[in-house]
Structure 1
């Protein structure tokens, strides 16, 4: 499976609010399934699917969410439960008992609840929340793959800088790598990002350390705007909270991008990792 991501643009405040309601409803369904599993014995996946139908009949806002999205929320709950059973059988030190979600940031649709335009420039969500049509911002290669390959699921993710649509494609990605016959061992540590079997070391980029000054400044501004006992907080507080989230999001993306590129260089050819680190640091 391959996941491609596109940003959702040109939406109104009401449309983004509808996406938030869909995300909260998906969280509600998952937590209800988890509570039912805690309160009853012998609960399996089929029982949770049946509970999903009962929730749709009992709560009007749950009925608004597409049936495939409700089933995906049930699968999320059962995934946490099955992993707990597996770790118990393996007698792991940490069992990982399933927990309720407090701040869910995504809702997942299967084959229904959404419709992609013929040119791949926009996507429309067709459930009863009436989120409507959003423009898709991505590069041409990703747009071509989205149009030509089979889409298994569409996931809407809320981040600090906006909303994104993740397309889960039914394809296996393969890299054409020539086998050189040379083997190398990597040891990931704390002082260095990794050390190979030949003694070469790659230093940690320390993106978080570089962003500490800005993070402290934004955090201080957020603390000044907080009012104890005030519910809800002011608009200035929530705007500053989003600014702080964007700084954390940038650090997260820097870490991921650097690690993925470095790993790909090591896989393609040994020695490419050292050259990539030098180019990244401007040496």
Structure 2
């Protein structure tokens, strides 16, 4: 079982310069390998990996970058090539792999070796990166990294912040729990979700709420002279608004999915095709803002890690099949989803006594320690 942890880095000015320099050399290596790839008919990954020592002799500055980091650029190139061929097989129109510009290259990867976490007992711990040094990393006191660390990804966000994404491999046997508590969930736009126990969670729509402020700041950005320091400052302001939207949304989704994972053994959800749904241009922005698919992904891994089960059912007609008298459309759909989920697993559905709906504000979901759910 694999898990990832994300922690913010606090590099000094010298360390940040070194990180940016290393990123640029990784980009340079990737572009060199891509240039050679375009000249060959049947490229081999092993052959390209053997080219790295030659490149280091040709460009001595590459010797200042940790070897595993440069080797990963070869892996990145061939994984991109595989993804491109997969799209082509699926009937998509694809071109060639593009050379990476500075604005399109934000990550470098320490794979298997070259990193170490040093616990200092203070507010910030230390992450040692080979050829870069010791960087302060903020790891919460309650957070423990379980399992063997396989990979450390260093990423620079558009707002200028640095983060470490730590990938671990956990060897743990998960015992399947007996199904005692079960629930069906119907997602929507007016309400983020309605469950079969009568909860209706308000849809926070974080992007919609910050849209006016975002448009205002983007308008100011468009008026700044390209290449100026003021334009860069304004670009960071815009990036921070986007970052705020993402952080708020992720916080809401994580807390809500954790509640259901902790309290239910069996959860039935709709198997939605978001790609087709966003073709409705009137609702596309709100559908994307709701992030239903991400919620279901978070819910799935959290429930499965506790020994529970998440089942996706066909969403067709869940709101139209009325078996329980006059009910709210979404509440009725959640009951139908639960029934379909149980029947698909060969389990019987016991008719439940319908109850009045409880509308729950999104702010109460996010509030720490709120008993409202």
TM-score for both structures, normalised by structure 1: 0.78
Counterpart for residue 8 of structure 1: 9
1:188-226, CA deviations, whole angstroms, 9 ceiling, x for partnerless residues?
5566545668997655321011112321232233234x2
Equivalent in 225, 240, 248 of residue 246 of structure 1 = 240
Counterpart for residue 257 of structure 1: 251
Counterpart for residue 149 of structure 2: 151
Instruction: Note the C-alpha offset of 1:20.
Output: 0.8
Instruction: State the distance in 1 between where 2:262 and 2:96 align.
Output: 40
The answer as to 2:364 corresponding to 1:279 is: yes
The answer as to 2:126 corresponding to 1:134 is: no
Q: 1:260 to 1:172 in 2, by over 3 A?
A: farther
The answer as to 2:231 corresponding to 1:237 is: yes
Instruction: State the distance in 1 between where 2:54 and 2:366 align.
Output: 57
Instruction: State the distance in 2 between where 1:278 and 1:77 align.
Output: 43
Counterpart for residue 100 of structure 1: 99
Q: 1:33 to 1:181 in 2, by over 3 A?
A: farther
The alignment's C-alpha RMSD in Å is 3.5
Counterpart for residue 124 of structure 1: 128
TM-score for both structures, normalised by structure 2: 0.61
* Structure 1 counterpart SS, 2:152: strand
Instruction: State the distance in 1 between where 2:71 and 2:47 align.
Output: 12
Matched ranges for 1:39-50 at <5 A: 39-50=39-50
Instruction: Note the C-alpha offset of 1:69.
Output: 0.2
Q: 1:166 to 1:57 in 2, by over 3 A?
A: same
Unaligned runs of 5+ in 1: none
Unaligned runs of 5+ in 2: 268-298, 300-358
Q: 1:119 to 1:61 in 2, by over 3 A?
A: same
**Contact 1:161–1:246 (Cα < 8 Å) also in 2:** no
Q: Which has the higher helix share?
A: 1
Instruction: State the distance in 1 between where 2:248 and 2:175 align.
Output: 26
Counterpart for residue 68 of structure 1: 68
* Structure 2 counterpart SS, 1:63: helix
Instruction: State the distance in 2 between where 1:158 and 1:30 align.
Output: 18
